[in-house]
């Protein structure tokens, strides 16, 4: 298989009946697309399938005609198609079409994960080596990073995709699809209003903000103001979790994928955050952000050169195809998300200075957030962290002692604990101790909120730090979210995550409430990409 490769790509997971041809020799991508636009409301699965059946054959024939004009009677080396995730009826039409074209031209098939294609097109065009990727599209929202032969889900929505969440509000208002551009336009004339802000580690939830936005509209709040609050809040959440993923992994590269990535305010926030961190940021052209066959063709060429083809008889689709189920054979194990192993690395929201046994933690302004939202979060988190650190310590959980708190300056002065972050001292012994500490915390009705391996210090004992996302709760689901966040940070950063995961679960089972583990299974089962 030579380096110069031409690929026919076919996309049809939900909205876009799309076909493209990619020529790696010239890096040219030609795309033909017919997008499904419902007359009212959101996506209707039956109508989407009818749209795909009507338009997909035509866009494929148009791109084949173009390829023949450019390259002759043997216009491509393989056919790449989107295997999933997506709507089953749409994907089946894509799979059937891809098999027919592959047989017609006697070329191999490559089955592509739609969400990995969103990531890889950004990596391909940017030239980044080991980026974190934020995928923000209609039905999806998650963070990915490469480790040990797979793209790991570092964080994801716990209820609905970001575009679908926005569409729920615009349908309530009575606006036609798509809702995102209408919210973006109205937000320009609006004043910021407070709405719920829900970040749990690197996971996030949109259900609360959507309910509050609809209620605000019903109560007479100007729709322009709600749109402004929606954008500022939702995109700040996505930017914050992206920064948390960068801090966890040590990566200095971020790429954006997905149709919601066309929003100027989201790109502005991500760019501002990366500039403040000294991190590189890349967003592809809009035609590669929205669903398109070009990204399928580009990744298909890479997979084809790596020998990752599938026999026609085994070319099944998978409507629940998770990105972390893909074997990434086209990348070497050495090119993982970076892990900066220096002792002190820039965090997601704080600057930390250390002098002997004293740590000064200052929550600086985050330029990407609306000033009102930024001040609220920094003050709430500073006060909340001080209370929860003291409360956890009172219940026997190892935490730093607080020497001083300056709420106005959002600054804490703390005891310096431990010799290393847990990230740099991972062992089954340490994670077992941590799991028991979490069980003890939960027994006291406390939730850490962000127990990643960057927020645990190891030395004479295992100490929990950074309670900024913590809160009081006796709900087993909230306790299970703590475990979910911890396990996600292990999966995203360590090659031996399965062994460490087992150690966490065994230790929590010994020390904690079984109902929490039951809730953990339920949470993991309802992930958007399960």
Question: Are 145 and 488 in contact, with CB atoms under 8 Å apart?
Answer: no
Nearest to 463 by CA among 471, 454, 472, 476: 454
Active-site option among 77, 167, 324, 450: 450
CA distance 275 to 61: 44
Active site residue 450: yes
Question: Are 355 and 117 in contact, with CB atoms under 8 Å apart?
Answer: no
Secondary structure of residue 94 in the 3-state scheme: helix
CA distance 328 to 224: 44
CA distance 20 to 117: 14
Does residue 214 come out as left (phi exceeding 0), alpha (psi in the -120 to 50 range) or beta? Answer: alpha
- With b for 16 or more beta-carbon neighbours within 10 A and e for fewer, the 86-116 pattern comes to bbebbbbbbbebbbebbeebebbbbbbbbbb
113: preceding bond cis by omega (within 30 degrees):
no
CA distance 399 to 158: 29
Nearest to 457 by CA among 504, 492, 423, 413: 423
Nearest to 48 by CA among 81, 14, 82, 83: 14
- With b for 16 or more beta-carbon neighbours within 10 A and e for fewer, the 451-461 pattern comes to bbbbbbbbeee
DSSP state at residue 157: B
Rg (CA), the chain: 24
CA distance 171 to 173: 5
CA distance 480 to 521: 9
> Distance from CA of residue 24 to its chain's centroid?
28
Tokens of 201: 């580690």
Question: Which DSSP string do the residues of 428-441 spell out, in sequence order?
Answer: HHHHHHHHHHHHHH
DSSP state at residue 10: E
Tokens of 415: 């005891």
Kindly report the backbone phi and psi dihedral angles of residue 207, in degrees, each rounded to the nearest multiple of 5, phi listed first. Answer: -65, -40
C-alpha torsion angle, residues 514, 518, 520, 526 (rounded to 10): -170
Reduce the secondary structure of 80-125 to three states and give it as a string: EEEEECCCHHHHHHHHHHHHHHHHHHCCCEEEEEHHHHHHHHHHHH
Pairing of strands 411-415, 402-406: antiparallel
Widest CA span in the chain? 76
Enumerate the active-site residues.
Answer: 450
């Amino acid at each position: 298989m030579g380096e110069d490769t031409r690929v026919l790509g076919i996309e049809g997971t939900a909205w876009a009946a799309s076909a493209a041809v990619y020529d790696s020799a010239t890096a040219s991508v030609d795309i033909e697309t017919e997008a499904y636009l419902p007359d009212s409301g959101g996506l209707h699965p039956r109508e989407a399938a009818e749209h795909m059946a009507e338009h997909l054959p035509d866009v494929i024939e148009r791109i084949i005609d173009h390829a023949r004009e450019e390259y002759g009677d043997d216009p491509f080396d393989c056919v790449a198609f989107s295997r999933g995730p997506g709507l089953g009826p749409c994907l089946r039409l894509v799979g059937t079409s891809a098999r027919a074209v592959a047989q017609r031209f006697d070329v191999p098939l490559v089955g592509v994960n739609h969400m990995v294609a969103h990531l890889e097109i950004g990596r391909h065009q940017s030239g980044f080596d080991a980026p974190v990727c934020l995928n923000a599209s209609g039905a999806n929202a998650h963070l990915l990073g490469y480790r040990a032969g797979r793209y790991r889900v570092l964080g994801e929505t716990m209820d609905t995709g970001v575009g679908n969440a926005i569409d729920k509000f615009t349908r309530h208002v009575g606006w036609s699809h798509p809702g995102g551009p209408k919210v973006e336009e109205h937000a320009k004339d609006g004043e910021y209003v407070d709405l719920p802000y829900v970040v749990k580690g690197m996971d996030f939830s949109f259900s609360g903000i959507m309910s509050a936005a609809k209620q605000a509209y019903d109560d007479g709040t100007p729709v322009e103001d709600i749109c402004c609050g929606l954008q500022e809040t939702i995109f700040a959440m996505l930017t914050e979790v992206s920064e948390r993923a960068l801090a966890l992994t040590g990566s200095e590269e971020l790429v954006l994928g997905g149709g919601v990535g066309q929003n100027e305010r989201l790109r502005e926030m991500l760019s501002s955050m990366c500039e403040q961190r000294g991190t590189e940021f890349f967003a592809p052209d809009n035609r590669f952000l929205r669903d398109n066959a070009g990204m399928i063709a580009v990744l298909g060429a890479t997979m084809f050169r790596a020998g990752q083809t599938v026999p026609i008889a085994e070319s099944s689709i998978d409507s629940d195809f998770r990105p972390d189920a893909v074997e990434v054979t086209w990348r070497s194990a050495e090119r993982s998300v970076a892990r900066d192993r220096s002792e002190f690395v820039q965090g997601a929201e704080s600057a930390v200075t250390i002098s002997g046994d004293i740590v000064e933690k200052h929550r600086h302004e985050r330029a990407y957030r609306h000033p009102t939202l930024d001040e609220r979060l920094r003050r709430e988190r500073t006060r909340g962290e001080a209370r929860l650190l003291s409360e956890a310590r009172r219940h026997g959980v190892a935490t730093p002692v607080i020497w001083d708190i300056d709420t106005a300056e959002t600054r804490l002065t703390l005891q310096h604990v431990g010799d290393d972050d847990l990230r740099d001292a991972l062992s089954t012994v340490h994670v077992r101790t941590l799991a028991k500490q979490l069980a003890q915390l939960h027994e006291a009705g406390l939730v850490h909120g962000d127990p990643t391996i960057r927020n645990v210090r190891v030395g004479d004992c295992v100490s929990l730090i950074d309670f900024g996302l913590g809160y009081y709760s006796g709900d087993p689901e909230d306790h299970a979210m703590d475990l979910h966040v911890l396990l996600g940070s292990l999966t995203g950063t360590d090659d031996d995550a399965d062994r460490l995961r087992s150690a966490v679960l065994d230790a929590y089972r010994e020390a904690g409430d079984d109902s929490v583990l039951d809730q953990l299974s339920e949470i993991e089962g309802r992930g958007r990409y399960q």
